[in-house]
Structure 1
Amino acid sequence: MMKDISINPGSMTLRLAACLAALGMVTAEAQEYTTEQEDTEAVLAPDGFSPYAGRNFPQVPLWGDSHLHTMVSVDAGTMTRLTQEQAFRFARGEEVTTTHGLRAKLSRPLDWLVVSDHAEMYGLMPQLLAGDGQVLANEQGRLWYEALTSGDPQLAFDTAMEIVASLSDDTPPIDNPKAIKHAWEDYTALADSYNEPGIFSAIIGYEYTTEGANNLHRNVLFRDGRFRANQTLPFSQYDSKNPEDLWAYLADYEARTGGEVLAIAHNGNLSNGRMFSFNAYDGSELTEEIASLRARFEPLYEATQIKGDGEAHPFLSPDDEFADFDTWDAANLNGTEVKEPEMLAGEYAREALKRGLRIEQDLGVNPFKFGMVGATDAHTGMATAQEDNFFGKHSGVEPEPGRWEHVVIEAPDPDLTIYGWKQAAGGLGAVWARENTRAAIFDAMMRKETYATTGSRMLVRFFGGYDFTDEDTLSRLPADLGYAKGVPMGGNLSAAPDGEAPNFLFVALKDSISGNLDRIQIVKGWIDANGETQEKIYNAAWSGDRELDADGKLPEVGNTVDVANATWTNTIGAPELIGVWEDPDFDPAQPAFYYARVIEIPTPRWTAYEAKRFGIEMPDEVPMITTERAYTSPIWYTPAAE
């Protein structure tokens, strides 16, 4: 069923929410919140009139970035001079001055931010530049300080590159736990000072960076404030390069402190097949214990960011016309190992979700049962994910006429070198929560009540159940029905009633300053009768009067982009799409997952804005148009136990 509705966004209540009570045959495992509604029909309470009174589920969509670096990170600090405080101020909507003196501001503030500076030698660069006594007491620290402050630009640059290169060493060149502890406690105190419940959540976190070339990095997020976070220090590759040891470290932190913590794996498109391996880190057989640790501590996956999109790949999904989006697939992170086709299956979200179903059949645990978020991974101190406001990966090159051709990753093979235009201006993480607090956001992440976007702030809801009807799409309070009759994104469907197939209520509302909506698709993955994983993309709702062909494909929505002027018109597409879709290929004996993908109409890419602003021409290979999109967290279906 498909419905295309044009309405005044101000009258639309799309602030739906997450977690719902199990009703009938539908269960929502590991969901913290329940709705107080027991009837699926709107019934006026005897003690009230307002339809909003008594709603007992998350109703606030909160936008944020879980992956941002400042000068506190060793690599970012060799180029950017923006501090952690400036990062929080910028995310809250304040104007800042960039490293190169440009004025910068977001179009709209973020609701939450994780300043996730690298754990390795945490805080070293600010300490070096300030001549910190604890660092200068180390001979290597003194030599680096003298070089960086020598006044010789070339010597300073060479030294900065030497510092970055030292991150590949097995041991830190400056091993000073006291200096790290000082920098960490300064950061946690700063985060607490910028954390304003109900207004802005400054979430404490850091990045665990390991296997640098193969990019097996994780961002670690804390539910609590500094009093608990200060009872630990950032776990780094110098402690262990094995992510399994990180999970054990986080488990120990929770046991010791009573706090809560989670990790988010980076987009795996540069891991050369290692991010979602069938094996343990050391290549041995995966065990139930390791799978359980990953499932517990990594509820989310970073599906899109500056270094390319990680949802799907055209080699893995040849029938998906939207799979080839901001694709980085030539090599690993530093271009030292060429990527072979067989590596791709261990790198992308959709394939990982399919692998998780297979592993669960063998071990009884699904280590890849994750929700979706987007993030920037910017090393500028500024969380800028909007195409017309993109400041790039790092501060070595800020917006200027030649940055599109600047070398971002220099590989030994020139054909593997990554140039500036290849960067993606994304992404963002959306969280449906009860309120804007650290605890509420963390809990929503643990429930997987999240979705990723490539930078747009479209509002998206996705519910699964067995009782949704076309009439449900007429409600202006779809969350009430979604929670009363099903489970939200991140939830779990129980075994299907006899003769029933899952159906899904979905709704999306355009970003007020971005493109209209082209379509909503349902992506399904499952294990067939032969034990093989399969996938299929269904067009579930779309704009205009287009019709599906015999293969279920839609004609293109069109293109109104004026590249020369970096603009477009919303004369195509729809401001809102809402519908109910039932799985036509459902087999109750086959495990499956479903997630929604929302596609916008074409709009100008950041490269088009750059060409317009600086009056430059770029080669034909440089894309000038993008189609922003959102990926919801999946809903999983598990057959009844035999």
Structure 2
Amino acid sequence: MMKKLLLLSAIGLLLSCANDSKNKNVTDDSTISESVNSTQLEATSSYPENVYWGDTHLHTSLSLDAGAFGNTTGMDEAYKFAMGETVTSSTGLQAKLSRPLDFLVVADHSDGMGVFPGLMNEDEFIMKTAEGKRWKKMLDEGKNTEAAIDIIGNFSQGTLSFKTNDPEMMKPVWKDVVAAAEKYNRPGKFTAFIGYEWTSLIRGNNMHRVVIYRDNGDKAGTQLPFTNEDSSDPERLWDNLESYEANTGGKVLAIPHNGNLSNGMMFAETTVSGKALDKAYADRRAKWEPLYEVTQIKGDAEAHPFLSPNDEYADYGTWDRTNLDYSQVKTKDMLQYEYGRSALKLGLKFKNQLGTNPYKFGFIGSTDSHTSLATADDNNFFGKAANAEPSDHRWDHIFMESPKGKILTWETLASGYAAVWANENTRTSLWDAMKRKETYATTGSRMKVRFFGGFNFTSDQVEGDFVKIGYENGVPMGGDLKNTNNSVPSFIVYALMDPEGGSLDRIQIVKGWANKDGSLGEKVYDVVWSGDRKLDAKGKLPSVGNSVNVENATWDNSIGATELKSVWKDPDFNPELEAFYYVRVIEIPTPRWTLYDKLRYGAKPSKDIPLTNTERAYTSPIWYAPK
């Protein structure tokens, strides 16, 4: 199947992909629908039958940095865009998703919520400050990027002369945020969660969390968001969440992100206050933070090639030079405390030491877009901020710069999405699925992935109603396997390609474990793959190939597979060791957003800039514990 680029209209950025029916391996929507339906449960089933797609991390013009970068698009447009409507971006482009999302969290920064509108209106509370006067002058002179970098730098280093959590400033803005989520929440059709981002920055090191409420506005609106001005310590955030639940009877969770920009702080072996982790800390972190945002615009944080040198897919969209504001250059000893896989391994070590795993989290992806547009599709990528919306020159924009170096916009990823297996599209059902970690992350593809663990799955069962079998005789992604008789665990893996994306290269299982001596191990297993490739002498699977035509941004789905499925048993199982397993699905290469810009606008990116991309998905783990 040849995927074809449809060039932009004069004002549009509306793309679709056409199928070439002459190819013998054509995959169309009807083929995929039949494949999905063959594995779904009856309507009366109590198991989740549908995967819902969303973005749990989107910023609008209410966020101070988003506004400074030029975002003039508000919450109404953000929700309408996610629901599939056409909206006008901050730079005047018409924008529309080829497929609407199922849910959205508008997660504007709690600190400074309302400052940017006040700045533009020249309100006294901000214009009386030296920063307000300086920023307004920059904005009036068209120096939006300089203003945004100045804002981020002063905020991250704690050098602002005014409070960013003034209740009188925050109250009306939070009221509007809650009202907008209530307005667009359509149970059963589209879920608008109430949420915000707690923007903890410690000397420029990223410790951010997105806070998501299960509740409606009658509860969520009663307590103002927690801010970095209140505290930059996650334990104080958990105090605030605990207070909210105690006062309202509601439910709330927090999702950390961008550990790759924390310079070793996100999954450290000590608390922010410098104390060794203890059981109380582990219990609280496991309770309040059940998920980790493992991929987004500012880099992928599943694995790092330094930590996983035998994993040829570990170096994807890697950001590993600095912390968030480029105030401190990164050193290699920080890396193990920043990435999802290494944190999962550290969690096993703490489980053995403390009795609780503080880093027992599932995976999701989201965008962290500051344009109000939840786009994680390479052929429809609006960038991190309004100054990086589609153009012929955005690839070489400076994303972040300091005397220690810089990051360019071409390094940003069109990533990612949160996939949630839930019973229905409602706040309660989706939130409950997130809490139990029945989720997975993708870098933008909408492939469907199933993962079950048990002790008695057989190879023939994957050809039948394996979903029913998986739930009744095992646990889904995010679950726990407890061995009672030293049986070897078996796993059902299944992936169905995105009908608008690349076909499937392979399904892998990533295993991590903790040895008796305290050392930690990992291994990546190729479980099932497309074509008739064979493992080489080193146990590695050769590449599926690359069918991308960089002259016209097309690719050929005659390589790869429509769906992949198998039952796998761990050949290296040790019943005495704590372990986790998660699935990674790899697609065939497809065009990157930089290639689309090159063809649409005549952009001339440097020769060393990648023009192709290998999309992937990461499921939440299944954990194994000895009896």
| CA pair 157-517 structure 1, distance change in 2 beyond 3 A | closer
Aligned residue identity for 1:320: D
Kept after mapping to 2: 8 A contact 1:148/1:155: no
Residue deviations 1:18-44 (CA, integer Å, cap 9, x gap)? xxxxxxxxxxxxxxxxxxxxxxxxxxx
Correspondence for 2:414 among 414, 425, 430: 425
TM-score, normalised to structure 1's length? 0.89
Give runs of aligned pairs for residues 89-488 of structure 1, distance below 5 A.
Answer: 89-130=80-121, 135-137=123-125, 140=128, 144=132, 148=136, 152-154=140-142, 162-168=150-156, 169=158, 173-174=162-163, 176-211=166-201, 213-413=204-404, 416-475=405-464, 477-488=465-476
Q: Deviations over 1:42-91 (max 9, x none)?
A: xxxxxxxxx61431111121000111111101111112001011111110
Letter in 2 for 1:508: A
Runs of at least 5 residues in structure 1 that lack an aligned partner in the other structure: 18-50
Provide closer, same or farther for how the CA distance between residues 544 and 220 of structure 1 changes in structure 2, counting only shifts above 3 A. Answer: same
- Tell me how far apart the structure 2 counterparts of residues 166 and 267 of structure 1 sit (CA, whole Å): 20
Distance 1:417 1:147 in 2: 22
1:37-52 matches, cutoff 5 A? 52=42
Listed one character per residue, the Cα deviations across residues 320-372 of structure 1 (whole Å, up to 9, x for unaligned) are 01001111111111222111111100000000000000001111110100000
Q: CA, structure 1 residues 138+313, in 2 after alignment: closer, same or farther (shift >3 Å)?
A: closer
Greater relative CO (CA pairs within 8 A, separation 6+):
1
**Cα distance in 2 between the residues matched to 1:333 and 1:203:** 27
Q: By how many angstroms is 1:300 displaced?
A: 0.1
Residue aligning to 1:527? 514
Preserved CA contact (<8 Å) 1:16 1:461: no
Provide closer, same or farther for how the CA distance between residues 308 and 405 of structure 1 changes in structure 2, counting only shifts above 3 A. Answer: same
1:62 alignment partner in structure 2:
52
Residue 360 of structure 1 aligns to a residue whose secondary structure is helix
2:342 maps to a residue whose letter is: E
What value does the CA root-mean-square deviation take over the aligned residues? 2.2
Following superposition, the deviation at residue 411 of structure 1 comes to 2.5
Cα distance between partner residues in 2 of 1:379 and 1:524: 35
Secondary structure of the corresponding residue to residue 328 of structure 1: coil
**How far off is 1:231 after superposition?**
1.5
- In structure 1, the residue matched to 2:32 is 9
Please say if residues 575 and 626 of structure 2, whose CA atoms lie closer than 8 Å, have aligned partners that are also in contact.
yes
Of 285-294 and 363-372, the range deviating more from structure 2: 285-294
Give the equivalent residue in structure 2 for 1:33: none
The structure-2 alpha-carbon separation of the partners of 1:244 and 1:574, relative to structure 1 and needing over 3 Å to count, comes to: same
The share of aligned pairs that are identical, in percent, is: 50
CA distance in 1, matches of 2:161, 2:454: 52
- Contact 2:138–2:147 (8 Å) recurs in 1: no
The CA distance in 1 between the partners of 2:282 and 2:88, in whole Å, is 45
The reply on whether 1:545 has 2:545 as its aligned counterpart is no
Provide Cα deviations, 1:150-171, integer angstroms capped at 9, x if missing partner.
Answer: 9942587766655444423366
Letter matched to residue 172 of structure 2: H
Partner of 1:22: none
CA distance in 1: counterparts of 2:255 and 2:43, whole angstroms: 35
CA separation in 1, counterparts of 2:240 and 2:341?
28
Secondary structure of 1:430 counterpart? strand
Distance 2:199 2:580 in 1: 30
In the TM superposition, structure 1's runs of 4+ consecutive aligned residues that sit over 4 Å from their partners are 4-7, 14-17, 154-166
1:148 counterpart letter in structure 2: K
Distance 1:155 1:410, change over 3 A: closer
Any conservation in 2 of the 1:16–1:60 contact (CA below 8 Å)? no
CA distance in 1, matches of 2:336, 2:37: 35
Ranges in structure 2 where 5+ consecutive residues have no aligned partner: 1-24
Question: Would you say 1:573 and 2:560 are equivalent positions?
Answer: yes
**Partner secondary structure for residue 64 of structure 2:** coil
Deviations 1:86-132 (A, max 9, x none): 1111101111111111111111100000000001021221233245x
Output the amino acid matched with 2:35.
M
- Please name the residue that 1:489 is paired with: 477
Shift of 1:548: 1.5
> Does the CA-based 8 Å contact 1:493-1:637 persist in structure 2?
yes
* Contact 1:149 1:156 survives alignment (8 Å): no
Deviations 1:159-216 (A, max 9, x none): 6655444423366615531220110011101100100000000001000111262111
What is the identity, as a one-letter code, of the residue corresponding to 2:469?
L
SS at match of 1:435: coil
- Number of aligned residues: 597
Distance 1:171 1:15, change over 3 A: farther
8 Å CA contact 2:26–2:558 kept in 1: the answer is: no
